Every structure is written in C-alpha cells, then in structure tokens.
A and B are shown apart, each in its own frame.
Chain A
Amino acid sequence: MRETRRKLGAIGVAALFALWSVVAAHSYALNEIVPDVRQPANLSGGSACPVHTHQLTGTGSLSFRWSTILGSNPKAILTQDQTPAGSLNEIEQVIQQSLSVWTNVSGTSLTPASLSPLARISSANACGTDGINSICFDQPDMAFTPGVLAFTRVVTADTIGIQLGSGPASTEVGQILDADVYFNPSDSLTSFATPLALSANPKSYDLESILIHELGHTLGFSHSAIWSAMMFPFAPAPGTFTGQRPTTQQPDAPLADDDRTGLRVLYHDPNDTLYVGSIQGHIIPANPISLPSAPPGVTGVFGAHVVALDAPSGAVIAGTMGGWSCTAPGPVQFDGNYEIDQLPLGRSYKIYAEPLDGAVAPSEVSNALVSLCRNSMTDPGWPPLQGCVVPPVNTAFTTRTRPSP
C-alpha cells in the first residue's frame, strides 16, 4: 500500500522566487497517450485517461542497435582511438555507458537485465519505423534543417495488439513500438566527441550527454524544465558535459534527482519501499473569473510547474506539470490538480508552483500537455462522453499557498 506523506512548507515567497528565477527549476514531463477507447475494452483498457508511453522492462525485452556507418567527410564522431575498429569500440562503449545510466537508477523496474545485448548494423539507413530501436549517426533526414543537431522519433501504440515491422505486437497500451535516435550528419560545422576525445576537441559536442538525453526520449520522457536535469531541453556547450561522468560506483551520476524520480514514475518497481511518497494538491485561482471560458469545465490553473524541494537543502527532488486529474473512464478533468509521486520517504519537502514562463516555454513541453485529450475533432467517432479539449496553458498567475488541514 502506498504511503502518502504530505509535508508542505509554507511558500509565500514562491511568486517572488518565480520572478527571480527565470532560469530556475521546473520539472520532468512524461509523454502521454490517450488509449483508443473506440476499441474493445480488452484492447484499450476502456478508459480515456492518459497513460505514460513506455518500454517493456522484462528480462532482455529492451533492445537497441546502432549503425556503424559514420560520416567521414567531415568526420561527425570524433574518437581518441583513430583505428577503425578501435573507433567503433569507443563509440559503442559510450552507447553502452549511456544506456547503463538509465538502467542503474534504484527503485525502478528498468534494470540492466532489461537490456538485451547492444547490436551493430552496417546498414546506412538503419533508422526507420521498423519496430527496432536504432541509433544512427550518418542517416540524413528531411527534418534536419540548419540548426538541428539530433532528435529522437518515438512511435507508440494506443491499444494492444499493434505490430510494427519485425517488432513484437504491443501487449500494453502506451507501449513504445519503435524509438530511433538521429544525429545530424549533414552539418559540416558540427561534430560530436566521445568523452575520451572531448578535451582534445573542445568545439565538439559531448556525444555521451546528448545520447543520454536522447535515450531518455526513447524511454518515454518529454523535456524537463529542471535546470540540472538530463532531460532539460538543451545540451551542454561544446567541450563540456552535463552533470558528472558515470562511474562504477555511481553509474547514474549524470542524472539529476528529477530524472531519477521521473524514471521511477515511468517504471515503478512494485517491490520498492523507499520511493513511495506522494504529494498531491490543487492550484486554484483566487478569482474564478480568471479561468478560461473555453473550453468549458476548467476549474483550476492548468500547466503550472509544481516542484518539490528537499526542505533542508533546497535541492530540487522532482516536479510535475499540474492542472489536471483523471479517473476512469475519463476524460481528463482540468481541475488544477497536481501529484508528485515516487518521492523518497522520511524527508521534508517544500512545494512551490510557478507558471511556465521561464527558461522552458509551453511549446517545449507541448506534447506532454496537448496529448491529454482526444475528441471527435481529432478522432472521428470518438465517444463524446470521453472526449475533452486541452485548455491554453496559464502563464500569468502568481501563487500563495494554503497548507493542508
């Protein structure tokens, strides 16, 4: 049984803090998908409540391959070892280490055993919607315009039984069927360096940092607005890396607590007894007239960042995008509700809320917000009683707290 702890400190200065901290903490966001309730309940679950997009985590169920075709003129991936075989091994080591960062977070069901052995492929066009998770360093894509370094394409099933290419059919709603990471091979001014080669190539981007970030997307993460998080939308400057390098003692060292908490929410370990704390509340306007008139039924502030700080240290532990709740059979209610889950027990927290008007704009986390609803306009034949429309993000509020009774 989940134990709930509510230790809310007063945060009367939250609004002031928000003004000061234009680049300050926000929170992780997870990609959501609304199950297709037009399908029978045994395939869709019968509820229009959003579910997190996710990979399967059974032993060996998560597999990746990478294309050994690398750009050569100019060279896109710089390694310390210049021999062909040594260079590939060095890149592969970075990929292995980047995956290990995510599979070594305690309190999750995603473990090193979830990964099947990393495979190589010598095909030039390994990335595609084929049911196989792939990493490509030299595959052109029309989406690469000037200024785009890398992206991850994730394909998710909204019902059970969907098969993509040679991949297995989905057994869960929200299951990721295919996730491919593309690095831009066409920009002659851009290169990526392995950690071993980074100091000698200070104009290159750190391959490991960008890969860990992109792999976060393959696991179901959207962008985080926590400044120190790996899922913050922006890569470190050329010649630098995010957080700390992974070590044998701490393989997940590059991650921030926000990333770890997000992963625990995504891949909850049912046997975990430490990260089971939860904080819940509502953000409601002092004056209801300030709520949007359309769509109807909005009763709370939507799109606020609600962040939990460790009370003694002030460190950001986790946060969420508040403003909604959902109870089966759905749809989402925009009632200002927020809930921060998988928090470690035995600690005190302060909570603050702030609008999405800082370093990360609503557009940066749009998918996590706009994907909360489906309706007859987006999906013909959608049952009206399970349809909804996502209201605009409220970015013009300040906060005061009303401690829980």
Chain B
Amino acid sequence: MSRAPHRRFTWHLFLASLFLIALTARATTLVRLRFPDLVHYASAIARVRCVGADIRVENGEIFTDTRFHVLETEKGRLPAQIVVRQPGGTYQHMHSHVEGAPEFRIGEEVYLFLWGRPGRQFFVLGWSQGTFRLHRDALSGKETVTQDSAEIPVFDPEAKAFTKMGVKNLRLDIFQERVRREVLRALP
C-alpha cells in the first residue's frame, strides 16, 4: 500500500472511531446495576474457589450447580461450601446453553455477588455483573479484580445515560475496601 492511501485509511479509521465512540448510547439486555446496587441486592458477597460442578435436571430443565469453597465473606453468612446454580449444562447428549451465563473453571478464584438464600442454591446476581475474576500477577504476586461486564456500556434508566462503570484490573485491596464501605453504608 502506498503512503497516501495508507494515510487516508488511517484518517478514515480515526473518524470511524470517533463516530463509534460517540455512539456509546447503547444498553445491555441487562439493566445496569451500579456497584452500590450490586452490594445492596446481593444476599452475600464472597471470595470463592471453584471446586467442581454437577449437572442437574429439574422440571425438565438442565442446570449446572457449581460448587465453591468460601474463602472470605464480605457480606452475609455462608457455609464453608456453597452451590451456585447456572442455567445450562450438558446432560447425556443434550447441550443446554444460555448465552451470557458466567462459566467457571475448577481452581478459579472469583468474587461472587450472590442472589438467593443459604441452604438452597445461589444465583449470580446480574450474571456477568456479579462476577469478578481474580488475576494474580506471576511476577509480583499482586492480585487484581475484573468484573465480567467491565467495559460494557450499559444504560442507566434513572440517569438516562450510558456509562462504562465496570471494575477492571482494580487492585484487590481497593476492591475490598469499596465492598466493605458499601456494605457498611447499607447497614440500617
């Protein structure tokens, strides 16, 4: 490619980028839950480690019950092990799938904002919005937290505006402080 068309292409891409950025007025099929909303609605918030999963069939529907060891609880009271139910899973030769439902790997550590009651299965509040993945830097050992829905422009019906307020690569200690501050604020 000669230099002139190359420059023209660059300029077109730049203009296209600006146009697209200006069009961030899009919403998700999920209603945005602000971080304080997530803390408020959550029955429990905990750092957990995925230890396994079981497929269940109830009323003809296929679910995946993922088992987690509770490592640290930030809100609510949880037993040492909890079960989080997700729609979908593989049963015999049938693969049931719901797009957008979070999936977990054995051994993975996450912070989950849970919806439900102890003694029964929990659900992840707002699916991708209530799932916060932990990443540990191999060199420094420092941990960061990234929300599955991070960087997703979502619509706030109250503010009538679109924002990208997801948590992305946030230092763990700062994330924990935010959670604890909101938990305290939500106390009566």
Residues of A at the B interface (CB closer than 8 Å) are 9-13, 16-17, 20-25, 31, 33, 36, 53, 128-130, 141-143, 145-159, 162, 164-165, 177, 187, 189-190, 203, 210, 213, 217, 222-223, 227, 232-238, 314, 350, 357-361, 363-364, 366-367, 370-371
Please report the C-alpha to C-alpha distance between residue A129 and residue B102 in the assembled complex, in whole angstroms: 21
A221 to B158 CA separation, bound complex (whole angstroms)? 31
Q: A53-B95, A189-B31 are in contact. List 7 more A-B contacts (CB 8 A).
A: A129-B60, A129-B96, A151-B29, A153-B88, A155-B96, A227-B23, A363-B148
Within 8 A of A (CB), among B80-129: 85-88, 92-103, 115, 123-129
A55 CB, nearest partner CB in chain B, Å: 14
**Residues of chain B in range 11-41 having any CB-CB distance to chain A below 8 Å:** 12-14, 16-17, 20-21, 23-33, 37, 41
A156 engages B128 (CB within 8 Å): no
Nearest residue in A to B97 (C-beta to C-beta)?
Answer: A154
Contact partner of B125 among A23, A24, A31, A146, CB < 8 A? Answer: A146
Nearest CB of chain A from residue B149's CB, rounded to whole Å: 8
Q: Output the residue of A23, A25, A31, A150 with the most chain B CB within 10 A.
A: A23
Q: How far is the CB of B42 from chain A (nearest CB, A)?
A: 9
Contact A237:B25 (CB < 8 A) given known A17-B13, A24-B16, A223-B99: yes
How far is A165 from B61 in the complex, measured between Cα atoms in Å? 12
One of B92, B93, B98 near A153 (C-beta < 8 A): B98
A363 B125 Cβ-Cβ under 8 A: no
Q: Chain B residues with Cβ under 8 A from A33's Cβ?
A: 95
Q: Pick the contact of B60 from A130, A146, A367 — CB < 8 Å?
A: A130
Q: Are B10 and A16 in contact (CB under 8 A)?
A: yes
Most buried by B among A151, A203, A210: A151
Main secondary structure of the interface of A (DSSP, over half): loop
Q: Does B54 contact A (CB under 8 A)?
A: no
**Provided the pairs A23-B153, A129-B60, A227-B23 are in contact, do residues A145 and B28 lie with their beta carbons within 8 angstroms?**
no
List the 7 closest A-B pairs by CB distance, nearest first. Answer: A10-B1, A147-B126, A234-B28, A20-B17, A21-B17, A145-B115, A129-B60
Residues in A neighbouring B25, C-beta threshold 8 A: 237
B152 & A10 in contact (Cβ 8 Å cutoff) = no
A194 to B20 alpha-carbon distance, docked (Å): 27
User: Which A residue sits closest to B128, measured CB to CB?
Assistant: A363
Q: Which residue of A lies closest to B157 (CB)?
A: A238
**By the criterion CB–CB under 8 Å, are A314 and B97 in contact?**
no
Contacts of B27 in A (CB 8 A): 234-238
Q: With A and B bound together, what is the CA distance between A159 and B103 in angstroms?
A: 24
Cβ of B127: which chain A residues have Cβ within 8 Å of it? 145, 147-148
With a cutoff of 8 Å between Cβ atoms, the chain A residues found around residue B95 in the complex are: 33, 53, 155-158, 371
Residues of B within 8 A of A143 (CB): 86-87, 98, 101, 123
Would you list 12 pairs from A and B whose C-beta atoms are within 8 A, ordered by A residue?
Answer: A12-B1, A17-B10, A24-B16, A24-B17, A33-B95, A143-B87, A149-B30, A156-B96, A233-B152, A358-B151, A364-B100, A366-B103
Number of A-B residue pairs at CB separation under 8 A: 196
B94/A13 in contact, CB under 8 A: no
Whether A158 contacts B93 by the Cβ 8 Å rule is yes
Q: Given the interface contacts A23-B20, A189-B157, does A152 sit within 8 Å of B98 by beta carbon?
A: yes
Residue of B nearest to A238 (CB): B157
| CB of B45 within 8 Å of the partner chain | no
Q: Is the CB of B9 within 8 A of A350?
A: yes
Given A21-B20, A364-B100, check contact A155 B94 (CB 8 Å): yes
B155-A237 in contact (CB<8A): yes
In the bound complex, do residue B100 and residue A21 qualify as a contact, i.e. CB atoms below 8 Å apart? no
The closest CB in chain B to the CB of A360 belongs to: B152
Closest to B12 in A: A314
Q: A156 to B100, Cβ gap below 8 A?
A: no
B51 at the interface (CB under 8 A from A): no
B28 neighbours in A (Cβ, 8 Å): 233-235
Query: A143-B123, A164-B94 are known contacts. Are A21 and B1 too (CB-CB below 8 A)?
Result: no
Min CB–CB distance A193 → chain B (angstroms): 14
Contact (Cβ within 8 A) A128 B61 = yes
Q: Which residues does chain B contribute within 8 Å of A236, judged by CB atoms?
A: 26-27
Interface centre among B41, B61, B88, B131 (most CB of A within 10 A): B61
Once the chains bind, are A153 and B96 in contact (CB under 8 Å)? yes
Contacting residues, chain B, for A217 (C-beta < 8 A): 99
Known A146-B125, A162-B94, A361-B148; contact A203-B6, beta-carbon cutoff 8 A: no
Contacts of A364 in B (CB 8 A): 100, 128, 148, 152
- Asked if B87 and A147 sit within 8 Å, CB to CB, the answer is no
Cα–Cα, bound, A303→B144 (Å): 22
Residues of B within 8 A of A130 (CB): 60
> Quick one: given A147-B129, A363-B148, are A234 and B16 in contact (CB under 8 Å)?
no
